[in-house]
Amino acid sequence: MLIAIFALLVLVSAGIAIYFRQKQNVYSVLKPITTILIISLATILSVENDSYYGWTVLVGLVFALIGDVLLLKHKWFVYGLLSFLLAHIVFIYAFSSLFGFEDNLIILSVLLVLGFAYFRFLLPHLKSYAIPVALYFLAIIVMDWQAIGLSVSGNAPIYYLLGLSSILFSFSDAVIAYNKFVREFKVAEFLILSTYWAAIFIISASIAFV
């Protein structure tokens, strides 16, 4: 029931934030509020379950919130990237804390091929951002590796959902990269925000089930 209530609140908040994304003053308030709602759910579930995984996820979500705020300004992009990099690292640690560090090389190989192909596509447009983006890509690949690997070790619906959440998070980041470095397009913000909030909501809700 608690998760359903927060799902509705996040859906409404996210919808309003996306609708007002062209009005910077309004959007600057609404965007962090949506992430704060997700953090609130994670906090309640962490207190109820008092799990190491839950508290670790909560730290990652706080870094994501900081990244949300920093990415509101173009001049703070690198700092926002760094904050999300730290969020990914914390999520890697959280996922690997469940069954140990996943070592499925087939999953890793597929992710490396896809990640390298997309990075190679972006590279001519990255210029001075090439190294920071490369490090970020590496973190995303490892996070996906650990999250998707959970479905092999856990073999339960929540672990499949965590794998999905990681893919959604990566998709959101991929759209950010394309929109910023290659070409802006109209529905980019909708795709970025909807998949990002869906991803971190699933991660937050997972605290109740793992």
Determine the pLDDT at residue 2.
93
Determine the pLDDT at residue 27.
85
Residue 97 near residue 52, CB atoms below 8 Å = yes
- CA 181 to CA 65: how far, in whole Å? 23
Ranges in the chain, pLDDT < 70: none
**Distance set, CA 81 to CA 46, 49, 74, 89, 103 (Å):** 26, 31, 11, 12, 27
Determine the pLDDT at residue 20.
83
pLDDT per residue as tens digits for the range 98-156? 999 999 999 999 999 999 999 999 999 999 999 999 999 999 999 999 999 998 888 89
Determine the pLDDT at residue 19.
87
